[in-house]
């Protein structure tokens, strides 16, 4: 979808991925010390994962193409008394965002990667590489092909993840997980892949 389409979704509250809390998989990673500052929340939506990092005292920036989502994220930060930077921008061109201050040591992607068309996937991997250095870690949570039905985003295979991040990245692990959704989602709990991907 285009930026305007994502913005419309947030304005109409048609966002089943926006559950008002971080994904459990990212909470586990954070609890194990897996978030190292500075942190970038790529496709941050209303900011729950960036705010999780901020609540741990970490320097964090959230990027999303939807103005409404960013406004929600900024409002949450103010309400919770947390310090986090939220920027409207295109995650396919991170190196062109003037306010961004790379390099980042951790990137969180929960539900962003699985929205891209095939042609955009390598652009995304390169965009993330442009704001990271060797050793940076990408935590990627996306719908897997084991999610039944056709509702929601595209399903992703392990092979597609590995192929996308084969140039500047090394896929360290891909584990089965789940994707928490709100009651706007009518199907069973979506199956997910949780990947840990390291910058070469």
For 21-51, what is each residue's pLDDT tens digit?
Answer: 999 999 999 999 999 999 999 999 999 999 9
| Separation in Å, CA 9 to CA 66, 74, 130 | 9, 18, 29
- CATH number, domain at 64? 3.40.50.150
**Nearest partner of 109 among 173, 22, 169, 182, judged by Cα:** 22
Cα–Cα dist 79/73, whole Å: 10
Is 88 contained in some domain? yes
Could you tell me what percent of the chain has a pLDDT over 90?
96
- 193 inside domain: yes
pLDDT of 92 reads: 98
Q: Say what the pLDDT of residue 4 is.
A: 63
Residue 19 counted as domain residue: no
* pLDDT tens-digit series, residues 53-69: 999 999 999 999 999 99
What per-residue confidence (pLDDT) applies to 2?
A: 54
Q: For residue 142, what pLDDT is reported?
A: 98
The predicted pLDDT at position 10 comes to 95
- Whether residue 21 lies inside any domain: the answer is no
Query: Could you list the residue range(s) of the whole structural domain that residue 193 is in?
Result: 3-12+26-199
Question: Is residue 157 domain-resident?
Answer: yes
Strands 169-178 and 191-199: antiparallel
Residue 74 within a domain: yes
State yes or no: pLDDT of 119 exceeds 90. Answer: yes
pTM over 0.85: yes
- In the chain, the number of structural domains is 1
Apex 196 CA angle, 165 and 20, nearest 5: 110
What would the mean pLDDT of 107-129 be, rounded to a whole number? Answer: 97
- 4-29: average pLDDT: 94
Helix (H, G, I), strand (E, B) or coil at 39: strand
Strands 60-64 and 39-42, bridge-based pairing: parallel
Q: Quote the radius of gyration of the chain (alpha carbons, Å).
A: 15
């Amino acid at each position: 979808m285009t930026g305007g389409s994502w913005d419309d979704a947030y304005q109409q509250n048609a966002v089943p991925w926006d559950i008002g809390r971080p994904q459990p998989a990212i909470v586990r990673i954070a609890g194990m010390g897996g978030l190292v500052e500075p942190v970038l929340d790529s496709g941050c939506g209303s900011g729950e994962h960036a705010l999780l990092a901020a609540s741990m005292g970490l320097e964090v920036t959230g990027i999303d193409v939807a103005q409404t989502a960013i406004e929600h994220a900024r409002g949450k930060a103010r309400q919770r008394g947390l310090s986090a930077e939220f920027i409207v921008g295109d995650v396919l061109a991170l190196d062109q965002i003037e306010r961004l201050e790379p390099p980042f040591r951790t990137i969180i992607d929960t539900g962003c990667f699985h929205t891209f068309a095939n042609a955009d996937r390598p652009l995304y991997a390169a965009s993330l590489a442009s704001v990271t250095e060797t050793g940076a870690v990408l935590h990627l949570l996306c719908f897997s092909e084991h999610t039944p039905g056709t509702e929601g985003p595209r399903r992703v295979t392990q092979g597609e993840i590995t192929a996308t991040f084969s140039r500047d990245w090394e896929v360290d692990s891909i584990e089965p997980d789940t994707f928490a959704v709100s009651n706007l989602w009518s199907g069973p709990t979506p199956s997910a892949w949780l990947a840990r991907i390291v910058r070469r």
